[in-house]
Structure 1
Amino acid sequence: MSPPPPPPQWVYDLNSAPASKPKSSSIPDPPGYSAALSSKQLSKSSKTAGTVRKAPTTEEMDVLKMKKAWELAIAPAKQLPMNAIGMYMTGNTLQIFSMFMVFSLFKTPVMAVLALQRVFAPFETPGTSGRLIGVKVVYVLMNMLMLGLGIWKVNQMGLLPTTRSDWLAWEGERTWSERAVPREWL
């Protein structure tokens, strides 16, 4: 049996220490660059860096939780332009694609408002519970904007009964108070 072939050059390069930078180089290092450390120095620095980091205080955690809660509350408004363009592109005719889009415009905000407590449960702490009420109100309002877009689209498709002729089935027969022609002639 023949001996196994020698490993490729990249294996040697990967296992060997990086070559030191020539001192005569006139090109400066980019900002934030530090020379590569050896694997022993790297493992020592990672161990010491883990012990140096201190845990955040409760106030800092509350501030971070409120920031994330605000991001979550404004997220439906970020979807609004995309949905508006999609509604515009589907046209005003009754097609299966436009009906599915309108259905999703109604379903998504309603389900989001129903799951309000579950969505904001990770951010509930004694320090944030009072400030979270405003965030929840904004979240509900942003979802109502999405519902408003759905109502606008349904109106554009002609499915909302907004004219008098849409309600003719419930209108009674007109009784005339005076006639230009006597009844006998009719």
Structure 2
Amino acid sequence: MDPKTSHPPPPPDWVIRLNSRMPPLSKQAANIPNPPGFSSAKGGKQRAQQQPSTTAAKPIETDTLKLKKAWEIALAPSKQIPMNAIMMYMSGNSLQIFSIMMVFMLFKGPIQGLMNTNAAFAKFESEGTRRKLVGVKAVYVLMQLGLLALGVWKVNAMGLLPTTRSDWLAWESERIPLERAYFAFG
């Protein structure tokens, strides 16, 4: 065999089929609907005809989706309450750096959330959702206040709230009940 006269071998059948045009659809294949996202000349015309009807419903659907996402953000702090309660219980009531850090973080998150309430819901605000967002924001504020109440409970459990006379208030004299004071003078 002369290397100059030899021809390369023909390509495999699958390469030929890949590079050739598709055969026309059979009658059975014509009944099968196109997959989602498939565009053809016929499908493009159908979309152009359907589009005017969907533009009328689009602002309503957008507002509904915005409200749904706003509710998810408003209820997110409620999902943190059980986790934070368990963490506060497990950290103990002694004054150690770990428990103090936990309490600090428990107060920091809700306070920042309360200060940024309007910013958290600004992307959901439109003419159609403005009135409905008031209730969503109120629920969000209540959830943040629930987290703050958990922090107050923890600080009280640690003995840092001045609800009773404690050692760190030793400068305060003992309070005598009013009834006992009358009997001492009378």
CA RMSD of aligned residues (A): 3.7
Question: Which has the larger share of helix?
Answer: 2
2:86: which partner in 1? 85
What is the alpha-carbon distance in structure 2 between the residues aligned to residue 104 and residue 121 of structure 1? 25
1:150 aligns with 2:151: yes
2:112: which partner in 1? 111
Unaligned runs of 5+ in 1: 1-11, 17-33, 181-186
- TM-score where L is the length of structure 1: 0.64
SS at match of 1:57: helix
- TM-score where L is the length of structure 2: 0.64
Q: CA deviation at 1:92?
A: 1.1
Q: CA deviation at 1:72?
A: 0.5
Q: CA deviation at 1:178?
A: 4.7
Q: CA deviation at 1:91?
A: 1.0
Q: CA deviation at 1:177?
A: 7.6
Give 1:60's aligned amino acid: E
Q: CA deviation at 1:173?
A: 8.9
Aligned residues: 147
1:133: which partner in 2? 134
Identity %: 49
1:169: which partner in 2? 171
Describe the shift of the 1:125–1:93 C-alpha distance in structure 2 as closer, same or farther (beyond 3 A): same
Q: CA deviation at 1:169?
A: 3.3
Runs of 4+ in 1 over 2 A off after TM superposition: 42-45, 51-56, 164-180
Q: Over residues 123-179 of structure 1, what are the superposed CA-to-partner deviations in whole Å (9 max), with x where a residue is unaligned? A: 100011011101101100000000011111111111111114575635589788857
What is the alpha-carbon distance in structure 2 between the residues aligned to residue 172 and residue 44 of structure 1? 85
Describe the shift of the 1:82–1:177 C-alpha distance in structure 2 as closer, same or farther (beyond 3 A): closer
Describe the shift of the 1:69–1:148 C-alpha distance in structure 2 as closer, same or farther (beyond 3 A): same
Give 1:169's aligned amino acid: W
SS at match of 1:158: coil
1:59: which partner in 2? 60
Unaligned runs of 5+ in 2: 1-13, 19-31
